[in-house]
Chain A
Amino acid sequence: MKNPYYSHPAKILKIRKESPDSNLYTLQFKEAKIQKAFHFHPGQFVMAGIVGYGEGPFDICSSSMETTTFDLSIRKVGKITQKIHTLEVGDTISVRGPYGHGFPMTKLNQKNLLLLGGGCGFVTMRTVILDYIKQKPKGQKIQVFFGVRSEKDFLFRQEFATWSKHVDLHLIIAEAKEKKSRYHQGVITDLFDKVKLLDNLAVIACGPPIMYKFCLARLKDYPISDEDIYLSLERRMDCGTGVCQHCAIGPYYVCKDGPVFSYGKIKDIQGAI
């Protein structure tokens, strides 16, 4: 019987500083067999941490077609994440997963996509974008709205130039910008006034609950059904397998039934968003 509590050691191969408080970690399981068997879908996450300290849920943000390594983007906010930020290349992070369902990409690839990412919630979008660039599904177009407080908070900044060649990328910052900046200024919903949305659209949103509220209100003006809007939810987690109850919302577990839900599925659940 597999041990559901066991995390496998993974070696840090690369660390890239993304923002004042976020690092991108490229990892590889120490056991080749485990790395080989590690397949995930966009939107899935792992439980990662340091043995002796603790662990927490983190989205996988490399391309799902990359099989020899995987990436996590980790923001320093508390006990475990601060400790992770002290690690160096060659050190070990313990990882179990992948968990959750991720985005229903087969269904979503039938449509054009609008990716809405706020702050560090953008992490999981990177997988969707990288997969798209590799796969280029026929006839599908992607629009990306990414909003942060100030320029330094943008994750994956070094990749924007490449991404722009493939997707319609719109970046917006809340703080006043310098004159000749390439960014829009305002909050993410302001982009709805500035950019014409694609037709036949499905939406993926990852960000804080407040962003969901405002974005959902704006999306009402478009012919997009609640079933075509996907949100990734954040909850306290421990087991990752739908047993410990920490992440439950209504009848669902965010770890097992999510973390991605269609808006239609959760809109009536008390406290879900």
Chain B
Amino acid sequence: MLNNLLYTKECDIIYPMKTNLKKLLKYIQQEHKLIAPIKKDHGVFLSQTKDLNKIILSSQLTENSFKDFLFPQEQELFDFKGAELVKPKQYTAPGLALFGISIIDLRALSLYAQVFRHDPYFQARGNNTIVIGYLKVATPDQTFGIFKERLEEDTLEHLEFDVFVLDSNTGLHFFSGSPKGQKALTQAGIEDFENVEYVGPVKESGLDQTMVANYKKVKNSFKTHRKLWEELGKRCLACGKCSLVCPTCFCFSTHYKFGQKKKTGKKVLNWDTCFYSEFSRVAGGHKFLDTVAKRIFFWYEHKFVRIPDELSIPGCVGCGRCIKVCPVAIDISRVLAELGKPVSKLASRKTLKKKKS
């Protein structure tokens, strides 16, 4: 069904369909803070907007991801008084509408839904958020991300969203992925939409083959491709920028913050990054990840080994953001390519850098 919607023939119904998208967003705005792709100084970012005309509809990924909103940098867990935590009576979250979430980021969002399935704060944020996926198809044979994924017949049924908007030259096509999405579409006056039933992140045809291949490449590579990791360790500045922008990075640590009154304050959860040397420090000062090589390997291990092992879904969705922000041009797709080669065929350190574009 999906592929038929793309480029069947030139057509001229784009304008009224765009009106439909406005109708939908206007309706959703009544009860939600709208977060959408907006142009800023350094690129297009997901950020809050009231003005629908400012929204950028493009096939490009936003610089930041849903993570900034659904798993914010600092999250309040508890108030405390004296020696005891005060358990929240209920879990509240602002009503957000996240518009313009790409297929790649929806995949990362499905991962979060799995990882934080027991986290009532995340669940509350999720429940109060309406997620509107969006894909602009620029060419019929378009691929997404560094793993060159394509839109398949069953792509949408393995993604969690409320509404999905497919924007092709045959017009805008609406899909609902939840009762919440159905309601929003209907109430906004859009009758022509299709229901997609979420059947979980793993396809019936079996495990994602790119994931399986990358798992094999990374798993024992600290032994087999030691030199490569050491080269990367020498180059990486351990700045942690890649993990900040990565939509699948969710390492955290918890802290206490004191308030104004004596013996009161909050327990908060903050993003952490495994690139920082403190991450593995234990009493006495020993750090298990005591070299940058170990830390960068640990980062890959999380994405390509631990997550697939535990959840059978990829821990890297291939968005390429980490490549874009890395100050020393470490390119994850090139690293994976090198890990696929036998040790004797390893390229020199230069080839690990991203190609000049």
Which of chain B's residues has its CB closest to A56's CB? B283
Q: Is A78 an interface residue (CB 8 A)?
A: yes
A248 and B301 contacting across the interface, CB-CB below 8 Å? yes
Q: What sequence of 0s and 1s flags, for each residue 247-260 of chain A, a beta carbon within 8 Å of any chain B beta carbon? A: 01011010000000
Distance in Å: Cβ of B285 to nearest Cβ of chain A: 9
Alpha-carbon separation in the docked complex, A234 to B235 (Å): 30
Quick one: given A51-B80, A52-B265, are A235 and B305 in contact (CB under 8 Å)? no
How many A-B pairs fall under 8 Å by CB?
103
Interface-central residue, A91, A236, A268, by most chain B CB under 10 Å: A236
Quick one: given A51-B80, A92-B83, are A248 and B302 in contact (CB under 8 Å)? yes
B84 and A92 contacting across the interface, CB-CB below 8 Å? yes
Within 8 A of A (CB), among B303-355: 305-306, 309-310
A236 and B288 contacting across the interface, CB-CB below 8 Å? yes
Q: What sequence of 0s and 1s flags, for each residue 266-300 of chain B, a beta carbon within 8 Å of any chain A beta carbon? A: 01010010100001111110001100001001100
B87 and A3 contacting across the interface, CB-CB below 8 Å? yes
Q: Is A222 an interface residue (CB 8 A)?
A: no
A243 and B85 contacting across the interface, CB-CB below 8 Å? no
Q: Is A26 an interface residue (CB 8 A)?
A: no
Alpha-carbon separation in the docked complex, A271 to B280 (Å): 12
Quick one: given A51-B80, A94-B83, A246-B279, are A271 and B284 in contact (CB under 8 Å)? no
A52 and B258 contacting across the interface, CB-CB below 8 Å? yes
B84 and A51 contacting across the interface, CB-CB below 8 Å? yes
Alpha-carbon separation in the docked complex, A250 to B301 (Å): 7
Q: What sequence of 0s and 1s flags, for each residue 40-59 of chain A, a beta carbon within 8 Å of any chain B beta carbon? A: 00000000001111101000
Distance in Å: Cβ of B63 to nearest Cβ of chain A: 24
Alpha-carbon separation in the docked complex, A210 to B252 (Å): 30
Q: Is B7 an interface residue (CB 8 A)?
A: no
Q: Is B161 an interface residue (CB 8 A)?
A: no
A234 and B115 contacting across the interface, CB-CB below 8 Å? no
Alpha-carbon separation in the docked complex, A238 to B274 (Å): 13
Contacts of B309 in A (CB 8 A): 251
**Which stretch (A4-12, A159-167, A197-205) binds chain B?**
A4-12
A244 and B272 contacting across the interface, CB-CB below 8 Å? yes
A250 and B305 contacting across the interface, CB-CB below 8 Å? yes
Interface of B is mostly: mixed
Interface size for chain A: under 10, 10 to 19, 20 to 34, or 35 or more residues? 35 or more
Q: Is B119 an interface residue (CB 8 A)?
A: yes
Q: Is B222 an interface residue (CB 8 A)?
A: yes
Alpha-carbon separation in the docked complex, A52 to B82 (Å): 8
Interface size for chain B: under 10, 10 to 19, 20 to 34, or 35 or more residues? 35 or more
Which of chain A's residues has its CB closest to B273's CB? A245
A270 and B84 contacting across the interface, CB-CB below 8 Å? no
Q: Is A2 an interface residue (CB 8 A)?
A: yes
Contacts of B119 in A (CB 8 A): 4, 243
Contacts of B84 in A (CB 8 A): 9, 51, 92, 94
Interface of A is mostly: loop
Q: What sequence of 0s and 1s flags, for each residue 208-243 of chain B, a beta carbon within 8 Å of any chain A beta carbon? A: 000000000001101100000000000000000000
Q: Is A217 an interface residue (CB 8 A)?
A: no
Q: What sequence of 0s and 1s flags, for each residue 80-123 of chain B, a beta carbon within 8 Å of any chain A beta carbon? A: 10111101100000000000000000000000000110111001
Contacts of A250 in B (CB 8 A): 301, 305
Quick one: given A94-B84, A235-B288, A245-B251, are A51 and B283 in contact (CB under 8 Å)? no
Alpha-carbon separation in the docked complex, A91 to B265 (Å): 19
B288 and A243 contacting across the interface, CB-CB below 8 Å? no
A2 and B118 contacting across the interface, CB-CB below 8 Å? yes
Q: Is A241 an interface residue (CB 8 A)?
A: yes
Q: Is B250 an interface residue (CB 8 A)?
A: yes
A77 and B222 contacting across the interface, CB-CB below 8 Å? no
Q: Is A81 an interface residue (CB 8 A)?
A: yes
B223 and A270 contacting across the interface, CB-CB below 8 Å? yes
Q: Is B254 an interface residue (CB 8 A)?
A: yes
A248 and B306 contacting across the interface, CB-CB below 8 Å? yes
Q: What sequence of 0s and 1s flags, for each residue 73-113 of chain A, a beta carbon within 8 Å of any chain B beta carbon? A: 00001100100000000011010000000000000000000
Alpha-carbon separation in the docked complex, A182 to B77 (Å): 52
B82 and A236 contacting across the interface, CB-CB below 8 Å? no
Distance in Å: Cβ of A232 to nearest Cβ of chain B: 14
B residues in contact (CB < 8 Å) with A = 77-78, 80, 82-85, 87-88, 115-116, 118-120, 123, 219-220, 222-223, 250-256, 258, 263, 265, 267, 269, 272, 274, 279-284, 288-289, 294, 297-298, 301-302, 305-306, 309-310
A residues in contact (CB < 8 Å) with B = 1-7, 9, 50-54, 56, 77-78, 81, 91-92, 94, 234-236, 238-239, 241-246, 248, 250-251, 253, 268, 270-271
